[in-house]
Structure 1
Amino acid sequence: MIVEKSIFFYTSPVFVKLSDKEVKLRKGTIRLRDFQYELLKRFLERNSLDVILLNAPTGAGKTLSLLIPFLANVEDKWMYHGSVGIYPSRELARDQMISIFNLLIELGASPVDIRELYEDLKDLSGDELEIVNEYVRALEVELDDSGYIPVILLYVTSESLNRLRGVISRHKQNITSNKELLKYLRGKVAGKAFRIIFTVPEYPYLLATDVYQDFHRAGIWLYAVLKELGRFLKTVENNDEGSLRKWFRELEVNIDRKRLFEEYYTSREFTENLADIFLLFRAPVFFDEFHLYSGFSLASFISLLYIFMYEKGIGKIVISSATPVKTILVRGKETTKRNYKREKRKDFLELVRRLAERMGYIVREISSNTSSTPRKDFVQIRKKTLIRIIPVSLRGKYVTGAPAFGTLQRYVPEVLKETDWLDRYRRMGRSMILVDRVASVLEIKDTVEKLAGEKALPVCSVKVLFHGDKQQLKTSKIGIRETKLIVGNMAIAFGVDIKGMDLGVVVAKDHLSALQKIGRYGRGEGKDIAEIYLPVPFSKYREVEGLLKKIEGKEIPYNSTGNNKRSHNLDFVTLLKKLYPRGSPDVLVRQGVGVFKAIFPAWVYTLTNIIRERSEIREQLHTAKRVEDVKYIHYFVVLLEEIEKFFEIDKLERKLRKFMRNRVYLTPVGLYNLYSYRNIAGVPIKKYSRNKEILEEVLDLVTAGRNIPLIYMHGEFWVDESRKPYEYTMLWLGVDKADIEYIKSLLGKLDNKILTLRFLVEVFGGGVHLLQGRRKVCRITRLLDNMHLWNIPILLLYAGNSKKRRIIEYLSAIASMIPIYVLEYDNEQGELLGGIYLL
């Protein structure tokens, strides 16, 4: 319940500086903002290798950065053949494609029927064309002097490739796989135009490392490469010329045409084929919303960045973020005679800078110039905003500290009822409510529909199970832009631009996610005022009450602009850091598995290219005495050195080799899953529709377990339709008391090891149950009937001390961790024994 009257204040509008640079096309002119012009200057220096760290607030125009290589072509000559935008989510990649398409139309580009451009596609039906246009769009841009530049926009994800293949294979019978489709798209569709690719990290990551193939075959290839990495690390660890020359000779023999398949289960032709497809992504690269990368995906980012850096033909790599620092926690070197390792916070971008410089790149930093007041040559990007701080009294266990912000989500329905939100919605006509959990999205949707008397659009990771296939069409970004009332979570907070969305309610777990969500409101120009309700736990409100009362009714800058003339120095972004828990520094990337995921893909890329260029590399290996003498090996050692320095790991080669030998126990498919860019622990969840049709959706098991009531029937997970369709709950493993000592012994032996879920189930046996809340789902031995679970890699942790227990409890709350407890009477949780992290 709300226990105090809300405190309100205003944030100033935000203006960003324009440059004096205009780029002219035949039918339109674009005046660049200052940071966009600085970016263009760098791209006009075609022969320089640049890693550009771009920092600009939400709404400043980072999206247009993807067009900078195109604008460089317009300004000078044909310098670039395309650009590649890599985004942390499919939703954001799709939204950016739509934004760039609309921007090109505003600049006078003309849409082109793709059937007129490509002979192979001339017979597409109207329905087929509609599907193709969702993922491939063609335009012609008329230049100011003369002529046209054809432009192709490509949206590349597993979903888009599957649907495109379904259409194009009807007209091109040789396209029977996504790999063949990608080769066709590279050669036929994008080969004769300026291409702009919108994708997620997985595709360039898998294509560059020879892993885009059948899972089992890819896993066998990865095991062979892993074995070679172990031999190489041992050689580097020995640190003598004799060992190195011996390894060079062995590798020279192994990549001989007759030995190649026997040693590595691949061929030069196969690697050349994938390298040809990778050319689709061989263009200037833009990593957008970098501040949203975390955990093991941040570790994988190191390898992907290394791959793009090595591909020198790319030339420019832009890493854009709304925040200038990416903090992670590093354990540090031994500092006392007790071998205590002090933890320290470090900026991840420090590693990016050092690696880039060692690989021959110039690191440049570009930031936008902003103001909180109207000024000459500044354009408005954010409206003045009324912020209402709502203190909420929480009940139960988690009412203080960081956990209170998770509990707070369950009180949003009360906030909506007890404030004037409904009156404001009726006056303003649109509203969006952003939370974190799927269950909260669905509960709040029910509440607002009853209050407003109209339908709300829920946007979250669960679509088909709750709404059927038709809802997926509604939640396309065009639908979101038109909808009046939206309830969502981070699935919609990833950079989606919804003009005219000026009324919101935001609940967030830390200041960074709060900033990300608040950035969805009040975008663009105008004198009208946006309004945002920020519920906070009463315990946190009391901590900052004095500060809030000093600014009550006043206006503060949205962010620090350097030209603040007010009586106080507080800006809104700084206030959010005081109002919300400090975002926890990333700890997973520094763990053994995190370091492995940062290095292993770079080694796979290295060996892939050695095989592809076998003839040239064998000559180098024959005479080589140092790592610097062999192409690809030299820079891989540079990567090892920089990771060792940044993470302050003594004897990295030895520790990594021991990790690979003693901690990784996986099937080939399990190793493939571990290799994947991010967590892929998805399983099919089923339910019956109203028409008694079976609906199925693949969901992260932990996410489903936290939000959806589950039952297990006939080897499959189903929604328990005897209960409410959503729940605030969690999955956990309960150990029968008769098996406690046996399970503890196993946990001690398997602590910190990476196994398949199937192996764990087999060794745990029938004395362990899967529970959801206080409800038993099944004995875990029954999970052996579900093939989708067999090869999920897991990291097993034993709660052998208080520090390990805290880590397991923390990861169980925020990550893909399933804790293991003693099963007490009435299905209560007893002693914490350990946890399994689904990789």
Structure 2
Amino acid sequence: MKQGTLMESNDSVKVVVKEVYLEKGNITLIAGGRSLRLRKFQEDLVRVLGRENNIRCIGLEAPTGSGKTFALLAPLISNILFDTDFQGAVGLYPTKPLVNDQFISIRNTLDWLGRRVYELKGEDGYEVAVKYHMDLKVIDEEAKKSRSISIKVGLVRLTKEVLNKLEEKMKEVKSRITLLDLLRNTLLDADYLITIAVPEYPYLMLSSLYRSVPDAQKLLTLAAEGDFVYKFARKITNASDNEINSIMRRMKRVLNDLLSSKRQERMRLNIYSALFSDGVFFLDEFHTWTIYERPTVLALILLFYLESLRSPRPERYKLILSSATPQREFYELLTKIGLGEVKIIEARLASKKVDVDRVKSRTIVYFIPTSTKFRVGSISWFMIEEELPYLVKEYASRMLSYERIIVFGRRSATVERCAEVFQSLTNEKPAVITGVKPSANFHGREILEERREYGKLFVFGNYSVELGVDLRKISFGIVYGVYLGEIIQRMGRIGRGDVEKAEVLIPIPSGYLSSVNNFIYKVGREIDYRTFIDLLREIIPEKLSIETYGTSFIMNHKIGKIRIYLPLATYIITLAMLWEYTMEYRKLCQKFVSIVDRLELKEMFNWMRDKVSKAPRVLVPLASFRLATSIPYVRDGIEDRASLSTLIGNYELAYRNGKLEIKGISKKSLGKVLTLNSQYQFNIEDIVISSKFLFSIENVILKGDNILLNILKNYDIPLYIAPPDQDYKLFNVFGYAIRIELTAGGRVFYMLLL
């Protein structure tokens, strides 16, 4: 058989995965004659919030589609049953489409539990705020008690438009108390407020970076000035009561030249207080954050924790991290830096079909062996993606018969090729969902909301599907992935208990066929979900190599450390201008110093002062919540933005009149296309620099891909130029770094794309 082809259909291995059920709990909600019984893991969350006051961090581990979004209502149920007084909950989601989707999900639940008494629509025509009146009864069978309450519950979908309206309203008033009341009244006068947002909003507000770029650069330049902020915080920590005031006055004189008026700074924190504080932070889909984003996710958690110390009751501030896969290493880090024990709540799969909810349908899985140059090993999993279009061709008629399907790839070019094959064979117009706007031949993301539950829907996508609309009644899928978590997450999108049965094709390297057969020989062809996961573990890597190596590397590297430190430092110095209560401010500085010490952030102070702070144009992107080198492009006459590595690795591009234009699909090796060479020695190293500034330096002459060179010369892309002795080959292969080969001397070094 030829290499790089699918094996015969009769070589595939069939496995039947039984339905998945979750245990029901003992708490029931009753409203308007309707009842909703919580699942056991949802009940466990309510009880932890109500009974374990000392627990600040909770890890929620449950499969996709199990009802994790209920975490936003758990504090309210705790208030009713256990007399806690949580003011609300904040749901933070990785993408705006997911924010919109989860807003709809929780809105539907609230529609079911109460009645709308007010709503406000945004410029997009959809609600941004809804207020409900609820007459809610909660029955706890375990404690043999029930309680009833009449309550106003508010739901806000936070957008830039909403924040702008709040800011305009707040300029009209002066009193701090009036400001807080105005915030609530501008949106919702509610007893319990649920806010849905992307993490950037609380991150930018708490870090004080929610301001113009020039002002943010000034603030970050001060924060990046070596140990300046750390030394200031230590002085406050060690000062006597009499000394603190004079230290604070000196700092305020420095800040007066950098910050806007005290009133405006307080306004920003007041917006945060009204929308985000005195409640629970729920970070969903935690496993999806990339290696570069983990440091700022940690920074946001630490900002939330520090802000809680300004409250008379910091224990009310709870953090829930929700993930479809375990995150024990990150939980251990939170404990190490002083946030206490992370309480883990797992959704337990039911062993009997009694008192349960079905969350996963009976699923027939076909493992499709594929022959490539490498039959086993991590690289073999990457190589079989080339065969996805052939798999689509072979199974197109079966896909058409199911009418609602998802095909998962990884590279955008492969996803689009699969969609082209399907369209040519069926005359159906598929939806293509990647990080790049699809061509005019395909539906885009807009069709997903329209056909969320009903109608023909043929979706071809990558990770962007995982972080988008929560599609229902998907009964067929092709699931390609290169590590265990990716396969599990994608499987969770198909057959979610809302169809009687589902069918999934999983392409595997041919060298693993015998392992699958041997496993089935031992346990049988019909297996439960846990056994199916064990089967996957037999053949596929637990983690992507870049995640295994890259996450721990970045968290301990200067780049990761500066991304943790900068937002904490700007938070501390801005509060110095605002906070009048110096004794409480000292406690905050003590905790800041402790965090810096425990994370060993001091190691990069000299480097930050000498190699970063003098380049203010890179400080804002360096401190941004996400590091994805996003650049503008044009496709079919429409402008959009996408990551540099995605564009350059998946498309035929042209650079005309200062604009990047997509001409067609062209899948390329990232390792090759992101390699440049120079015949001159390179004396710039261990520095963060703008690509545009780098190419303005006289002796910097690089050659290679013309599109890449044009992008680097014309856009302010932040780069970390690593010393030549540091090996970033893995980062280069995965599109995180540019490899520079020096023909003179044969040396190699890397520039990390920030």
TM range (shorter): 0.7 to 0.9
Q: For residues 507 and 183 of structure 1, do their structure 2 counterparts lie closer, same or farther at Cα, with a shift above 3 Å needed?
A: farther
Q: Which residue of 1 aligns with 2:143?
A: none
Q: Which residue of 2 aligns with 1:455?
A: 429
Residue identity in the other structure for 1:222? L
CA shift, 1:633, in A, is 0.9
Match for residue 587 of structure 2 among 625, 631, 641: 631
Q: Which residue of 1 aligns with 2:64?
A: 58
> C-alpha deviations, 1:190-237, integer Å up to 9, x for none?
34453211112111011012110101111101111222743635996x
Q: Which residue of 1 aligns with 2:230?
A: 232
> C-alpha deviations, 1:129-156, integer Å up to 9, x for none?
6735243344333335988533332222
DSSP-derived class of the 2:587 partner: coil
Q: Which residue of 1 aligns with 2:347?
A: 368
- Verify the 8 A CA contact 1:92 1:494 in the aligned structure 2: yes
1:820 partnered with 2:740: yes
Match for residue 524 of structure 1 among 497, 506, 514: 497
- Verify the 8 A CA contact 2:694 2:700 in the aligned structure 1: no
Q: For residues 74 and 481 of structure 1, do their structure 2 counterparts lie closer, same or farther at Cα, with a shift above 3 Å needed?
A: farther
Q: Which residue of 2 aligns with 1:97?
A: 103
CA shift, 1:324, in A, is 2.4
Residue identity in the other structure for 2:355? D
Q: Distance in 1 between matches of 2:185 and 2:45?
A: 29
CA shift, 1:185, in A, is 5.8
Residue identity in the other structure for 1:533? L
Q: Distance in 2 between matches of 1:480 and 1:590?
A: 44
Q: Distance in 2 between matches of 1:362 and 1:684?
A: 44
- Verify the 8 A CA contact 2:649 2:673 in the aligned structure 1: no
DSSP-derived class of the 1:632 partner: helix
- Give the stretch that moved more between structures: 533-542 or 485-494: 533-542
5 Å matches for 1:438-587?
Answer: 438-463=412-437, 466-467=439-440, 471-476=444-449, 479=452, 482-494=455-467, 496-524=469-497, 528-541=500-513, 544-550=515-521, 554-559=525-530, 571-583=531-543, 584=545, 585=548, 586=551, 587=553
Q: Distance in 1 between matches of 2:325 and 2:676?
A: 44
Q: Identity rate of aligned residues, in percent?
A: 24
Q: Which residue of 1 aligns with 2:721?
A: 796
Residue identity in the other structure for 2:696? E
Residue identity in the other structure for 2:534? T
Q: Which residue of 1 aligns with 2:659?
A: 716
- Verify the 8 A CA contact 1:215 1:669 in the aligned structure 2: no
CA shift, 1:467, in A, is 3.5
- Verify the 8 A CA contact 2:432 2:443 in the aligned structure 1: no
CA shift, 1:592, in A, is 1.3
> C-alpha deviations, 1:410-448, integer Å up to 9, x for none?
211111233xx3343344332110111111121111111
> C-alpha deviations, 1:740-799, integer Å up to 9, x for none?
1x2xx32xx33332111122222276732351xxxx33754x854x3xx22x3211235x
Q: For residues 521 and 697 of structure 1, do their structure 2 counterparts lie closer, same or farther at Cα, with a shift above 3 Å needed?
A: same
Q: Distance in 2 between matches of 1:100 and 1:474?
A: 21
Q: For residues 643 and 78 of structure 1, do their structure 2 counterparts lie closer, same or farther at Cα, with a shift above 3 Å needed?
A: closer
Q: For residues 778 and 675 of structure 1, do their structure 2 counterparts lie closer, same or farther at Cα, with a shift above 3 Å needed?
A: closer
Q: Which residue of 2 aligns with 1:199?
A: 197
Match for residue 602 of structure 1 among 568, 572, 578: 568
5 Å matches for 1:212-251?
Answer: 212-227=210-225, 229-230=227-228, 232-233=230-231, 251=247
- Verify the 8 A CA contact 1:230 1:657 in the aligned structure 2: no
Q: For residues 442 and 82 of structure 1, do their structure 2 counterparts lie closer, same or farther at Cα, with a shift above 3 Å needed?
A: same
Q: For residues 136 and 821 of structure 1, do their structure 2 counterparts lie closer, same or farther at Cα, with a shift above 3 Å needed?
A: farther
Q: For residues 489 and 477 of structure 1, do their structure 2 counterparts lie closer, same or farther at Cα, with a shift above 3 Å needed?
A: farther
DSSP-derived class of the 2:332 partner: helix
Q: Which residue of 2 aligns with 1:33?
A: 39
> C-alpha deviations, 1:497-549, integer Å up to 9, x for none?
322112110111211111111111111256x321110001224445x255345
Q: Which residue of 2 aligns with 1:302?
A: 298
> C-alpha deviations, 1:570-621, integer Å up to 9, x for none?
x2222222322231322322211112212232222222223210x322xx5x
Residue identity in the other structure for 2:187? V
Q: Distance in 2 between matches of 1:500 and 1:114?
A: 30
Q: Which residue of 2 aligns with 1:136?
A: 129
Residue identity in the other structure for 2:734? I
Residue identity in the other structure for 1:605? Y
Q: Which residue of 2 aligns with 1:72?
A: 78
- Verify the 8 A CA contact 2:91 2:194 in the aligned structure 1: yes
- Verify the 8 A CA contact 1:495 1:520 in the aligned structure 2: no
- Verify the 8 A CA contact 1:154 1:197 in the aligned structure 2: yes
1:705 partnered with 2:648: yes
Q: Distance in 2 between matches of 1:288 and 1:461?
A: 20
Residue identity in the other structure for 1:708? Y
- Verify the 8 A CA contact 2:89 2:193 in the aligned structure 1: yes
Match for residue 93 of structure 2 among 82, 87, 98: 87
Match for residue 285 of structure 1 among 281, 285, 290: 281
Q: Distance in 2 between matches of 1:324 and 1:734?
A: 35
> C-alpha deviations, 1:471-507, integer Å up to 9, x for none?
4532447557644211111111137532211211011
CA shift, 1:184, in A, is 7.2
Q: Distance in 2 between matches of 1:249 and 1:83?
A: 36
Instruction: Please list every run of 5 or more consecutive structure 2 residues that lacks an aligned counterpart in the other structure.
Output: 138-146, 173-178, 309-313
Q: Which residue of 1 aligns with 2:408?
A: 434
Instruction: Please list every run of 5 or more consecutive structure 1 residues that lacks an aligned counterpart in the other structure.
Output: 116-127, 176-180, 327-346, 560-570, 621-627, 645-651, 825-829
> C-alpha deviations, 1:699-727, integer Å up to 9, x for none?
111211112221212222222x3xx3453
Q: Distance in 1 between matches of 2:160 and 2:125?
A: 10
Q: Distance in 1 between matches of 2:89 and 2:123?
A: 25
Q: For residues 530 and 307 of structure 1, do their structure 2 counterparts lie closer, same or farther at Cα, with a shift above 3 Å needed?
A: same
1:387 partnered with 2:365: yes
Q: Which residue of 1 aligns with 2:322?
A: 320
Residue identity in the other structure for 1:534? I
Q: Distance in 2 between matches of 1:496 and 1:408?
A: 27
Q: Which residue of 2 aligns with 1:648?
A: none
Q: For residues 59 and 599 of structure 1, do their structure 2 counterparts lie closer, same or farther at Cα, with a shift above 3 Å needed?
A: same
Q: Distance in 1 between matches of 2:615 and 2:448?
A: 38
DSSP-derived class of the 2:264 partner: helix
1:838 partnered with 2:732: no
1:681 partnered with 2:659: no
Residue identity in the other structure for 2:718? P
1:13 partnered with 2:19: yes
Q: Distance in 2 between matches of 1:48 and 1:735?
A: 54
Q: Distance in 2 between matches of 1:469 and 1:207?
A: 38
Q: For residues 190 and 296 of structure 1, do their structure 2 counterparts lie closer, same or farther at Cα, with a shift above 3 Å needed?
A: farther
Q: For residues 231 and 633 of structure 1, do their structure 2 counterparts lie closer, same or farther at Cα, with a shift above 3 Å needed?
A: closer
Q: Distance in 2 between matches of 1:239 and 1:98?
A: 46
> C-alpha deviations, 1:273-321, integer Å up to 9, x for none?
1110111111211111222223121111221111212233552211122
Q: Distance in 1 between matches of 2:283 and 2:496?
A: 22
Output the aligned Cα RMSD: 3.6
Residue identity in the other structure for 2:119? I
Q: Distance in 2 between matches of 1:477 and 1:820?
A: 47
